[in-house]
A = this chain, B = another copy of it.
């Protein structure tokens, strides 16, 4: 089978671009409209996307701006929302973000296993450590944990969740009405985890799904984040402004995975891409300019304040002057560096900077024709920069429609993208292996040795 581009769709109901809710096509109440999210899911499935992807925050406005123009100030909890969307779709995966810092592994394992059952094997968990003191203050702390501590806790959290997902073997359930045997107790296993952060006896009270367990996704780019991703992730969401840094990241992750004894093909690297699609370059540019013109100054500043890890308040600075230096953060280290890099490379003023990152918050932004966009994706895909992409339509639903109606057919014409779903589960469509239950594997090994 030829290698195909994998595509995730990043579709927050409120839109991705900071001013998207003001776009004429975008329902102003999209962030809290179930019907609108359903419309987006159906479009993503029509476009044969692998998965619908949602970020998450555990504080108002993602722990960022509380200014009156912030359309991301309130929304749905993603697992709840995806559960409701799953029955209206048949092949689309659902990757929800959930925090290792502020949840217990039993709760994490359970809600994702439940979504995985409801969707019949189409769930994914995007593992995040969740930054910011404002979030910490919603969970009995005054300040966030240091970066390294968050990642140590995350590694253990993921480990426990994976163990819990192996509580039942795949064939544990017999359900024989005649004999009264519902399941085979020898195929139900305690977890018995005792670690630095968690003691969890198990077993989990949810059975396995048709894909074994949810796909594990990760998005960290710092040294700690790369280590965690290489060790545990099956899909990596990443942000790059240039093919060169994307390649460096791609090769580094694959090498780390190989070093850990993993098959590098089983870790898919998917950079984020924001696409303004036009039938002509001029039309694409017009779409970009139109959205840029809708940015309220205050929201642009709020966006930058949030993305610099909350360490820099730009109120009072000259918006047509340069970005001032900022102290280091315990928050989104790599994102903060990326924003700085964009400002420096382009010699952007504060205003130009927020206008540029308003679309995708640091992800790669392309303004062009379907052919131009396909050229870029193809180049990255064929040159060790990406196994696929997370598409971030700047506003919704029409920028998603543009991608599905104009870019997807171009990718298909080039043989780079599927023309029908290959499988039923998210794992099958991504080409990821079914995770063998370690208890069953242990038994099989034992039997082979006898």
Chain A interfacial positions (CB closer than 8 Å to B): 19, 21-22, 24, 28-29, 32, 34, 38, 57-62, 66-71, 73-77, 79-81, 83-84, 86-88, 102-104, 106-107, 110-111, 113-115, 117-118, 134, 137-141, 167-168, 173-175, 177, 180-185, 188, 198-207, 294, 296, 299
Contacts and interface: CB of A to CB of B under 8 A. Distances in A.
A66 B22 contact: no
A173 to B, nearest CB: 7
Contact of A88 (B87, B106, B117): B87
B73 A182 contact: yes
Contacts of A103: 107
Contact of A180 (B22, B61, B184, B185): B22
Contacts of A61: 205
Nearest to A206: B74
A204 B60 CA distance: 6
**How many copies of the polypeptide does the oligomer hold?**
2
Contacts of A115: 80
A117 B71 CA distance: 17
B206 A77 contact: yes
Given A69-B181, A84-B86, A205-B59, A114 B28 contact: no
Which of A88, A102, A106, A204 has the most chain B CB within a 10 Å cutoff?
A: A106
Contact of A205 (B28, B68, B75, B117): B75
Nearest to A142: B199
B80 A203 contact: no
Contacts of A106: 58, 102, 138-139
Contacts of A205: 57-62, 73-75
Given A68-B174, A106-B139, A180-B296, 4 more contacts: A28-B175, A69-B182, A77-B206, A81-B83
A19 to B, nearest CB: 8
Contacts of A175: 21, 28-29
Q: Would you list the 6 A-B pairs with minimal beta carbon distance, nearest first?
A: A137-B201, A28-B175, A77-B114, A80-B114, A83-B83, A180-B296
Which of A62, A70, A107 has the most chain B CB within a 10 Å cutoff?
A: A107
Which of A79, A117, A188, A204 has the most chain B CB within a 10 Å cutoff?
A: A117
A188 B28 contact: no
A69 B139 contact: no
Nearest to A59: B205
A96 B436 CA distance: 33
A202 B138 contact: yes
Contacts of A168: 74
B199 A114 contact: no
B177 A118 contact: no
B87 A182 contact: no
A80 B140 contact: no
A167 B61 CA distance: 13
A204 B73 CA distance: 9
Contacts of A62: 205
Contact of A60 (B28, B167, B294): B167
A61 B168 CA distance: 13
Contact of A68 (B75, B87, B117, B181): B181
B21 A177 contact: yes
Contacts of A34: 87, 117-118
Contact of A76 (B74, B88, B180, B206): B206
